[in-house]
Amino acid sequence: MTLEQFFHTAPRAAAAFSGGTDSAFLLWAAKRYGCEVHAYYVKTAFQPDFELADAKRLSEELDIPLKVIRADILSVPGAAENGPKRCYYCKKALFSLIWDNVRRDGHTLLLDGTNASDDAGDRPGMQALKELHVRSPLRECGITKEEVRRQSKEAGIFTWNKPAYACLATRIPTGMRITGEDLDRVEKAESTLAGMGFADFRVRLMPDGARLQFTEAQMELALEKRKEICSRLEPLFPAVLLDMAGRKPSA
């Protein structure tokens, strides 16, 4: 099945939109193939502000209605505790909330941007999507991440080369309770580093500080700016460490 065929059978749908590459391409494809699609973005403490800004920009460029839903994710049982099934509890709560809004708006079909490259065995959140009957057209049509980026570039979608961005909760070690203060510190640190010219990196929280992960391509820049990094992140963390093993570039 192709995306064109999928949307011919789904002329009206709602789509969960993260502001990332996959869901952006999904919205573009829905629009292209004649689907009356509405986008839904859930803003929580786990999503940095730039993701919402990208979601708003993309929806405006595609002329697709966007509803922003606010949610207190830290009050969701199993989320703040940050156990091994945190992603499941989070996805279940957020997509249940989206479904509530979608149904009130008269939709009966909810889509998400999971692609064929995503490993279901490594993503507990995908079990929640299955339980809630969320459809994933990219995955169903066998479209991989590489194909999403290629077609997005050809279509002129600005997110075509946007690095994959896992939510801020992934910066907190499993088993360490997640607080709004810690999420805020991580977001501020990553925003600071982005403003210094870094891309596709992570700031991992530790009990006694933060561990910075840069790709090999930007490791030299990190060493050159070592003093500036320490100076600017010092107000946020008691210690700042550089992970010398580096980080593999995001797909």
Residues 64/38, Cβ–Cβ less than 8 Å: yes
Residues 132/92, Cβ–Cβ less than 8 Å: yes
Closest residue by Cα to residue 110 from 124, 94, 86, 89: 94
Return d(Cα 96, Cα 113) in angstroms, integer.
16
Return d(Cα 118, Cα 144) in angstroms, integer.
8
Cβ–Cβ contacts within 10 Å for residue 106, how many? 9
Considering 35, 87, 90, 167, which one is annotated as catalytic? 167
Residues 65/38, Cβ–Cβ less than 8 Å: yes
In the residue annotation, 167 being an active-site residue is answered as: yes
Q: Which residues are catalytic?
A: 167
